[in-house]
Structure 1
Amino acid sequence: MVNMIPVVALSETSKKQVLQPFHLTATGYNLNYLPEYIALRHGFFQEQGLDVTVNIPTPWDGVLDALADGTADMALGGIWVPSMYRDRVQHYTVFAQIANRCPLAVLKRGSSEGFKLTDMAKSTVLMKSGGGASVGLFFKMLLRENSIDERAVDYVQDLDGVMLGDLFQGGMGDYFITDNLSALAMVARNPKVSIAMEMVTQGDIPWSVYYRETKTITPEILDAQKRFCIGLEKGIEWVLQHDAESFREELAELFPKVPVNVAVSVTNDFRRNKMWTSTSVSRQGYTRWQQGLSDAGLLKEPFDYEAMVDDAPAVEAQVEVVK
């Protein structure tokens, strides 16, 4: 099953321009991808001569199949996947980043006043895992970074997020970890639960990146990647310059199943807390995440930045945008 991302119709002027197809396969549809959706809707990719189209395969790991068979020009998802595959199955090169922070939140029943991360030791934590392993990977890394034994927590994480959310509200477990948007929507509906922590405040990490099979990269692909990054940089800049209240109608169209006030609140929270910075992968965040992946056993040891990331398309794009 494949879901297509809707985009606005091209103007008559845009239709006359010959655009280069540049297809993206993504692991999900999330608010932390917002600058990409804005770039699509506002024509920032079209300005660079790219006809960017997007699909979301089900299951999500179909993105790797799309890269392998050449039906996709790039994949969007967690950097833990190309890291885990390197030197084992396939080499992928990351060329851009969109989400610079973790978009998760910790929910608890009752008031969150006075909450401390150490409170979660010897508790039962429900974590959604339908989109991959990143939820558990990040949370357990956060525990280790705060000198909390991850083995002191019981985990329920092999179920759908909606199912776990219903079970949590029904009394299962002590905490529930889900995406920030879903967390705030649950709190808006249920006064008996509260947000104990928004992980967007917990430091830089390359949460969502764009990548491609290394062996398929050509000078023509690098040029298209640079132009894609220019469009994405403009999308990031646009979101950072506009209070979410000023484009609430767009947010309502993009996320129709979420109360618009919730979408506005989360967007402004992400704007304030550096969810979006630039298309370049932060070296500090990269090093932190590689260590977390290594400590979790996904990697034998962390990979050097240059082994996984080619920052040239993003850097060149940033130069073009500021001209």
Structure 2
Amino acid sequence: MEQFNLTATGYNLNYLPEYIAHRHGFFREQGLEVTVNIPIPWDGVLDRLAEGTADMALGGIWVPSMYRDRVQNYTVFAQIANRSPLALLRRGHQEGFKVADMAGSTVLMKSGGGASVGLFFKMLLRENGVDPRSLDYIQDLDGLMLGNLFQGGMGDYFITDNLSARAMAARNSDVSVVLEMVSEGDVPWSVYYRETATITPKILDAQKRFCIALNKGIDWVLQHDAESFRDELAELFPTVPVDVTIGVTNNFRRNGMWTSTSVPRNGFDRWQLGLADARLVKEPLAYEAVVNDGPAAAAKQTVGSTE
């Protein structure tokens, strides 16, 4: 069994197919003993890669994009989350909400796990014809703290992960989810990557086998209504009411959160434009500059040839 160590920026529902692949033995079927480390703070994933204690990192593609040709070059070899897992809450009811009407409001959004929340939301504003500078933001605080402050009266809107948003709305009738961003188009939200200079033929083979197992996890989740694995979801996310987890999981299943391990070019190009608008990159990067689809493509061919 080959050790293949993963360092991840967090523990999230949008990583569900990976958890399923691990629990159901799909990685072991490919000869991989996958271990997971979640450093605090999250950017410790880059330290794990640099010191060689991790074979891959899981997180936002904005990091390899931002670092390229500045600090360190990383190559993305697979994707797990194809959509944004965020949700927008406001006090009161959800009827009549439009993104285009948000100008002049104050938005609370957590940022402890990186820049993705603000990057995606401000890109969404621009796509809806709203200048992000027309809103005020409170985002340099812990997510739990911001959630409590929002429920106590601070700001007009609160952005957090979809699971936390639905859980908040379920226990607090004074707030409602007005937008689940999984419905807002493709974007390579969560990807696997490692330092470009350390990639060898042996690593590429392990990445291919990892993709085979992860694709099997994705397919398993897509083929099973979340209600049918209620107990498993309760074990994976014990702090959230299981009915909420089931609802969000099925919403993700319906709306393209999980597709395949390949990073889609259209979603990549869209995200690069958002990163350029946010000044994280000077100009949108080419797909091949950041992504090597070889392992994911080879995984698909391997599975196809055995069916």
Q: Does 1:91 align with 2:73?
A: yes
Partner of 2:168: 186
Paired residue secondary structure (1:195): strand
Corresponding letter in the other structure for 1:175: Y
Contact 1:96–1:311 at 8 Å: present in 2 too? yes
Deviation at 1:146, TM superposition (A): 1.1
Q: Which residue of 2 aligns with 1:210?
A: 192
- Superposition CA RMSD, Å: 0.5
* Aligned mates of 1:159, 1:139 — CA distance in 2: 17
1:31-46 correspondence runs (5 A): 31-46=13-28
State the partner residue of 1:269. 251
Please show how residues 78-227 of structure 1 align to structure 2 within 5 Å. Answer: 78-227=60-209
Q: Given residue 163 of structure 1, which amino acid in structure 2 is its aligned partner?
A: M
- Amino acid of the structure 2 residue aligned with 1:165: G
Uncovered stretches (5+) of structure 2, i.e. residues with no partner: none
Which residue of 269, 280, 287 maps to 1:298? 280
TM-aligned CA deviation for residue 114 of structure 1: 1.0
Q: Deviations over 1:42-83 (max 9, x none)?
A: 000000000000010000000000000000000000000010
SS of equivalent residue, structure 1 residue 200: helix
**In 2, distance between residues paired with 1:318 and 1:161?**
38
Q: How does 1:58-69 map to 2 (within 5 A)?
A: 58-69=40-51
Question: Is the contact made by 1:22 and 1:53 (CA closer than 8 Å) also made in structure 2?
Answer: yes
Match of 1:243 among 225, 230, 243: 225
Distance 1:226 1:129 in 2: 32
Check if 1:53 corresponds to 2:28: no
Question: How far apart, CA to CA, are the structure 2 residues paired with 1:72 and 1:110?
Answer: 45
For structure 1, the residue ranges without an aligned partner over 5 or more in a row are: 1-18
**TM superposition score normalised by structure 2:** 0.99
Distance 1:292 1:213 in 2: 24
Separation of aligned partners in 2, 1:320 and 1:158? 45
Q: Report if the CA contact (8 A) 1:234-1:321 is conserved.
A: no
Letter in 1 for 2:147: G
User: Which whole-Å deviations, capped at 9, do the CAs of 1:204-236 have from their partners, x for residues lacking one?
Assistant: 000000000000000000000000000000000
Aligned-partner Cα distance in 2 for 1:61–1:161: 17
Any idea what the Cα deviations from partners look like across 1:134-185, whole Å, max 9, x if unmatched?
A: 0000000001111101100000000010000000000000000000000000
Equivalent residue pairs, number: 305
1:215-261 Cα distance to aligned partner (Å, 9 max, x none): 00000000000000000000000000000000010000000000000
